Amino acid sequence: MIAATSCVRIAPSILSADFRRLGEQLAMCEAGGADCVHVDVMDGRFVPNVTFGAKVIEAARQSTSLPLDVHLMVVEPEKYFDDFAAAGATGLTIHAEVAPHLHRQLSRIRELGCRAGVAINPATPIAAVSEVVADLDLLLVMSVNPGFGGQEFIAHSVDKLRRARLMLAESKSKAWLEVDGGINRDTIGDVWQAGADTFVAGHAIFAAADPKGEIEALRARCRVIV
């Protein structure tokens, strides 16, 4: 039996934020009790969308003291490590699908003083990271196909998270188990029960009438119902 963890980290994704007032929105996340800020970098190659890079990471860094959890949906992610670390990223998460030298890449991220993460797409087996578990500070299980905010949660992700939690537990890994995509009031309870401890939410938080309250509502869903 795999227990849900008592640790719940809510990570608002600024992909859905209003960029005209990013500073204000980050302050609101902080006031709402967010644990970190998720920054989605897309290059139009690994995913069919383009977002932002070091300048926005730097702007976010200057606007909040929360950790910046940077998710690189890009090919050749190592090209950006130095710039993103210098811009203030706390963690860098790269995709296993485009990282043939995961061990070396994760080591480099740690050398730069950042937490090292690997993300896997819905179609990528957990086994893709099984040989580098000891090198992971974070494992990100995508619960949508990356590229856009506001997509529908893929239900199979719950079982995948359960297996990912088992793998981390068997390796005595302290890596965070993060889930990203389609997380909202209806889906967060199941993924928490499955063993996720870090929850990315973009649309659910930033499209809410009260984003601050939404962070609290999401956290409140992570509890055992008796």
Concerning whether 40 is annotated as a catalytic residue, the answer is: yes
Footprint of ligand DX5 on residues 124-183 (CB under 6 A)?
144, 146-151, 180-183
Quick one: which of 201, 215, 218, 222 contacts ligand DX5 (CB under 6 A)?
201
Q: Which of 35, 43, 135, 180 is catalytic?
A: 180
- The nearest distance, CB 183 to ligand DX5, in angstroms, is 5
d(CA 151, CA 145) in angstroms, rounded, equals 8
Interacting positions 2-41 with Zn ion (CB under 5 A): 40
Q: Shortest distance, CB of residue 2 to ligand DX5, whole angstroms?
A: 24
Residues 3-42 that bind ligand DX5 (CB under 6 A): 13, 15-16, 38, 40
CB of 71 to Zn ion, least distance (A): 4
Shortest CB 226 distance to ligand DX5, Å: 29
The answer to whether 204 touches 20, Cβ cutoff 8 Å, is no
Give yes or no for residue 204 binding ligand DX5 (CB under 6 A).
Answer: yes
**Per-position x/- string for 175-204, each x denoting binding to Zn ion as judged by CB under 5 A, each - no binding:** -----x------------------------
Q: Do 216 and 223 meet the contact criterion of CB atoms below 8 Å apart?
A: no
Both structure tokens of 140: 């990100």
Of all residues in the shown chain, the one whose CB is closest to Zn ion is 71
The entry of Zn ion, ligand DX5, none near residue 183 (CB within 5 to 8 angstroms by kind) is ligand DX5
- Residues tagged active-site: 40, 180
User: Which residues of the shown chain bind ligand DX5 in the complex (CB under 6 A)?
Assistant: 13, 15-16, 38, 40, 71, 144, 146-151, 180-183, 200-204
